[in-house]
Amino acid sequence: MDTTRRGCLRAALALAAAQECAGPSERTDSSFDPWIEIHPDNLRHNVKEVSRRAGSRPILAVIKNNGYGLGVSNAARVFEPMPEVAGFAVVKLDEAFTLRESGIKKPVLLMGPFDERNLEDVAAKNILPMVYTALGPALERVAQRLQRPVDLHVCVDTGLGRVGVPYREAAVLIRDLAGHKGVRVAGTMMTFTEDPDFDQEQLHRFRTLSSSLEAEGVRLGRKHAASSFTLFQHPDAFLDMVRPGMALFGVYSEPQFRGRRILDLRPGVALKTRVVYVKQLPKNESAGYERVYMAQRDTWMATLPVGHADGAPRALAKGARVRIREELFPVVAVSASHLIVEIGNEPKVKVGDLATVFDWTEGSRPEDVGAACGASVYDLTMHLNPLLPRRFVSN
């Protein structure tokens, strides 16, 4: 990473830290600007739940894509003190560096791309690359310069077809990597397609490969395959370590999982703002671009200064409701920076009232909002604007 880019990253981290720690008199954002709340107690509860479900196996916490909306460093700081969490996994190289520059000490697995120019910097910071090509000679050179072996995880493609060495070719690659003195295989991993029938075949392929190599004396490190989805579907795939993401952040990735009572998940993130404008819309007048909403009668409306640029998807206008003054009101229009909400026959809200797009309250959870309008819970969390303030809250 070049000096300018590293400097920008450090500046962004400093700004984020200032936003997290600022008291009410120190805030630089308008009182009407949207913000994101982080509930660390809920996050810690979810770790305990996952650990219970996984039979106390270590957890490799996936905090990719800006920590599922919390901020990658914010998420890591909550999870790192917990003994159940063995380390972290990210996809972007910058996120791996950000964790180290934020003071995170536990192992970090980089599951995304890098080139050989990055390899020495990655290894020097004790970031474990996910490898699936013949990088043995390059790793050996890096190990010689660092005067210690390079730890890594090998990714095996058992059928997802995204990345990873194809399982039929994996034994040759893993033997080669493990045969280098400068390489230490700390883990071997696969990812399910989440097709229930084919998942069993994938697991069979992975187990067959692993058993064969281990019988030869090849060390594979911790084997892991279980994402949040797998925690609900395939307890036989928990292996040596589980690798959840969304479950740690308290959101059920699939609607059917919520009612199974396998895991009691509590959302750890909320998107909030304040009502900025209230008015009565006369009958037959419109609201929103393309006149998406037409008043059937004189109707009170509220405008919220949060929109799809902040992470509130356009799909909200297809049935989602926001909570204002503990009452739910339908979203009727979404633009880049605003939501328009139908209040009804009476002016039940006023400028300055707290408005919650989603949080950890029953009826306003990300799953509730997503189910109401057809939005994915991933869209509601992963797309939160990284420039919005993040604030830690408690019960």
Q: How far is CA 67 from CA 78, 246, 313, in A?
A: 11, 9, 19
Element (H, E) at 84: none
Query: Is the distance from CB of 313 to CB of 383 less than 8 angstroms?
Result: yes
Cα–Cα distance, 367 to 12 (Å, whole number): 31
Backbone angles phi, psi at 340, to 5 degrees: -115, 130
| Residues annotated as catalytic (active site), given as ranges | 64, 289
Contacts of 285 (CB under 8 A, 6+ apart): 294, 295
Dihedral sign, CA of 213, 227, 85, 17?
positive
Please state at what angle helix 93-101 crosses helix 72-79, rounded to 10 degrees. 50
Contacts of 306 (CB under 8 A, 6+ apart): 34, 271, 273, 312, 337, 338, 339, 355, 357
Backbone angles phi, psi at 305, to 5 degrees: -85, 60
Contacts of 214 (CB under 8 A, 6+ apart): 220
